[in-house]
Structure 1
Amino acid sequence: MAETLKARLLDSDRRSAVVDDLQGLVDAEVANKSGLSGGVVKTGYAGLKKVKPGIVREAIDKMLDEFVEQLEPFWATFSTEAAGDFGTFLGTRPQEASEALLTVTDRRAERSSRGAITSIYSKLRPKAQENVIEALPGLGAVIEKHAR
Structure 2
Amino acid sequence: MVAALKESLLDESRVPEVVSDVNALIDAEVSDKSGASGLALKGGYAAVKKVGPSIVPDAIEGLLPEFVEKLEPYWQDFSATGGASFSEYLVARDEDVSNSLLGVTDSRIENSDRGAVKKVYSSLRSSAQKHVIEALPRLGDLVQKYAA
Q: How would you bin the TM-score normalised by the shorter chain?
A: over 0.9
2:138 paired with 1:130: no
Instruction: Using the TM superposition, give the Cα deviation of residue 84 of structure 1 relative to its aligned residue in structure 2, in angstroms.
Output: 2.2
Could you tell me which residue of structure 2 aligns to residue 19 of structure 1?
19
The correspondence of residues 26-37 of structure 1 with structure 2, limited to 5 A, is: 26-37=26-37
Misfit runs of 4+, over 3 Å: none
What is the TM-score normalised by the length of structure 1? 0.98
TM-score by length of 2: 0.98
How far does residue 4 in structure 1 lie from its aligned partner after superposition?
A: 0.4
SS at match of 1:28: helix
Q: Structure 2: which 5+ residue stretches go unaligned?
A: none
Measure the CA separation in 2 of the matches of 1:37 and 1:121.
13
Q: What SS class does the counterpart of residue 11 from structure 2 fall into?
A: coil
Is 1:87 matched with 2:87? yes
Cα distance, 1:54 vs. partner? Answer: 1.5
Structure 1, unpaired ranges of 5+ = none
Paired residue total: 148
Letter of the structure 1 residue corresponding to residue 125 of structure 2: R
C-alpha distance in 1 between matches for 2:147 and 2:107: 26
Distance 1:33 1:6 in 2: 30
Look up the match of 2:104. 104
What is the CA–CA distance in structure 2 between the aligned matches of 1:60 and 1:111, rounded to whole Å? 16
Is the partner of 1:129 in helix, strand or coil? Answer: helix
